[in-house]
Amino acid sequence: MQIKARFFSLLAIISLLAILIPRANVYAAWPAPVRGKHAMVVSQHELASRVGVEILKKGGNAVDAAVAVGLALAVVYPEAGNIGGGGFMVIHDSKGGNHAIDYREMAPAAASRDVFVGSDGKLIKGEGSSTIGYRASGVPGTLAGFELAFKKYGSGKVKWSELVEPARRLAADGYVLSYRLARLFRDYSEGLSKYPESKRIFLNNGKFFNEGDLFKQPDLAATLGRVERFGAREFYTGRTAELIAADMKANNGLITVEDLKNYQAKEREPLIGSYRGHKIISMPPPSSGGIVMLEALNILEGYDVAKMQYNSAEKYHYLAEAMRRAFADRAEFMGDPDFADVPTAALVSKSYAAKRRESIQKDKASNSNEVGHGAPAGHESMDTTNFAVVDKDGTMVVNTYTINDLYGSQVTAKGTGILLNDEMDDFAARPGEPNMFGLIQGERNAVKGGKRPLSSMTPTIVLRPDGSVWFGVGARGGPRIISAVLQTVINVIDHKMDIQAAIDAPRIHHQWLPDQLTTEPIGFSPDTTVILKAYGHKLASSWVASATGLMIDTNGVRLGAIDSRSDGLAVGY
């Protein structure tokens, strides 16, 4: 209730500022973004953010700090922070270089196109499905990705063990449970209680934890201790790998020792586009987020969004139509680029956006069944978490990682303390049928051993026209991640908001199918919704993701922002 109350008050203040402050000025949120003279860490748990700041104070850079934050979140934010899942990291270094680390999960070798289809030809539900239980997990990539980033782009001034030790200590010594996390354990008890290790660790063997209890995770501490001593490969080739594979075999799972041994994180060419003269750096496939966001931005570039009020029906109409077309293309054209020919360059080109824009009408909503995908030339969970770091030298990292649904597959691998993901649901378990987020996905994203599932994660960094780093943002929330990041970019560039105001402002979401425009419960005037309905939009009400972001202002001050829809803390120094 406190979070919702804060969100409501922030929205009221933002709306007042939109009326009172001249358009040429920056729309500022109150409370204001957290300020730091030298550096900033933003994550969805205070303890993790403080771990990152301590690494920076030791001489580590933003990459070092990001790794330490990610490991700490695996302990203190277990519903989404992880070493049993995977994700993406985007880096803009102090020398101007841009880098993208892909540590997305992979399908086990035994996985096949119809692995989640029953003998009756229908998708399997419950145990054995793509959403819960042992067979729902892809091979985790988090530790491999963190180690790759550390070795290639870390400062060289701190050791790997120094990045792991704070997380290990938090797991061994414990931390005090918040009301939110204690309640969340109970909310997910139905699924967690099905698996003995999850029930024992997170549900206190059915007795439940309460707010204020000290929560310790000795098995996870032991796992992190091995990783601290022997490096990330211990997870893939050592005792931890043996424990995971043995538990999988005992429970009809798919992941084997060979699957773990063969996993590799990859460095990919970052996706780079532009919006009104600002360079946009984001993640390429197998993330769909960067392409969908850039395609939508390219379509919107044909309209004078800055002249539209940020919460006007006119602005939301054009935004929804841009999203509709970009998500339709997502369904048809996107998948793992190592297995499918994804026409990335064509999809993010300005000329393709101009063609897609031609069918948008000024005051009439399109019909998604009629819009469909385009014809470019050439050949995602509510339960993710994003964090971001900027250091004193200007290196910025935005990292989004996930175990998909809250608490992933609900399975904790015996003897490890590791919650495993349910990322197999991010494949098209049956092409043409919706996944847990209602997303329709095509053959390019069908299940295949060794393949990485399509994702909606959208870690993004934006540069000023002079090339200096300006702000970074990412979000949690399945396919709504894309909408949250997209609208944050628009709010900063077009509507001149600071990073906190840009993140807190009300949002919409349209993902092509189902053909509905989601508006948030608070922040939309009755007049706006009446106009959108008159245009033919089918409205639904729900929250649209939660974001974290940071910014460097023109004086070099670091600004950090945590979405009022969620929890966490920005810590600067």
> 541: part of which helix (H) or strand (E)?
strand 539-541
d(CA 141, CA 154): 18
Question: What's the Cα-to-Cα distance from 242 to each of 200, 239, 246, 261, 352, rounded to whole Å?
Answer: 21, 5, 6, 10, 49
User: 28 versus 544: which is more confidently predicted?
Assistant: 544
| Tens of pLDDT, residues 279-299 | 999 999 999 999 999 999 999
Residue with structure tokens 């974001």? 547
Count CA within 13 A, CB hemisphere, residue 236: 20
Tokens of 542: 């729900």
pLDDT tens per residue, range 376-409: 764 344 568 999 999 999 999 999 999 999 999 9
- pLDDT computed for residue 199 by the predictor: 98
Provide the 8-state DSSP code for 513: S
Single-letter code of the amino acid located at 23: R
Neighbour-count burial for 320-351, b at 16+ CB within 10 Å, e otherwise:
bbbbbbbbbbbbbbbbbbebbebbbebbbbee
Per-residue pLDDT at 382: 53
Question: Could you give the residue ranges of the DSSP H alpha helices within 231-377?
Answer: 233-237, 239-250, 257-262, 289-300, 313-333, 344-347, 350-357, 368-371
Whether the pLDDT of residue 20 is over 60: the answer is no
- List all residues 6 or more positions away from 417 whose beta carbon is below 8 Å from its beta carbon: 171, 201, 217, 218, 219, 220, 221, 222, 223
CA distance 181 to 183: 5
Decide: helix, strand or coil at residue 143. Answer: helix
Res 14: pLDDT: 47
Distances (CA, A) of 191 to 58, 197, 199: 41, 12, 9
Tell me, what DSSP letter sits at residue 106?
B
Q: What type of residue is 3?
A: I
Q: How far is CA 452 from CA 138, 266, 326, 379, 411, in A?
A: 9, 11, 21, 20, 20
What tokens appear for 572 in the block? 């600067």
Task: Let me know: does 298 contact 348? Beta carbons within 8 Å.
Answer: yes
Mean pLDDT across 369-373: 89
Is residue 458 within 8 A of residue 483, CB to CB? The reply is no
Separation in Å, CA 19 to CA 305, 443, 500: 17, 48, 18
The answer to whether the beta carbons of residues 345 and 285 sit under 8 Å apart is no
- Average pLDDT of the residues in 521-529: 94
The string of pLDDT tens digits covering residues 95-145 is 999 999 999 999 999 999 999 999 898 889 999 999 999 999 999 999 999
What is the mean pLDDT of the segment spanning 150-164? 98
Please spell the DSSP secondary structure of 403-451, one letter per residue. Answer: -SSTTTTS-EETTTTEEPP-GGGGSBSSTTS--TT-----GGGB--TTP
Model confidence pLDDT, tens digit, residues 496-511 = 999 999 999 999 999 9
Q: Which of 455, 453, 409 is nearest to 136 (CA)?
A: 409
Q: Is the pLDDT of residue 440 over 70?
A: no
**286 preceded by cis ω (within 30°)?**
yes
Q: Which residue from 451, 442, 448 is spatially nearest to 336, judged by alpha carbons?
A: 451
Q: What is the mean pLDDT of residues 254-273?
A: 98
Average pLDDT, integer, range 430-439: 64
Q: Where are the domains of the chain?
A: 2-18+30-36+269-382+456-564, 40-267+386-445
Question: If we measure between CA atoms, which residue out of 566, 559, 571 comes closest to residue 476?
Answer: 566
CB 367 within 8 A of CB 397: no
Beta bridge partners of 519: 508, 541
Catalytic residues: 384
Say which residue the tokens 């979401």 belong to: 509
Which architecture characterizes domain 2-18+30-36+269-382+456-564 according to CATH?
Answer: Orthogonal Bundle (1.10)
Sheet strands side by side (includes 546-552): 34-36, 558-562, 546-552, 469-476, 460-463, 278-282, 271-275
User: For the whole model, what pTM was predicted?
Assistant: 0.94
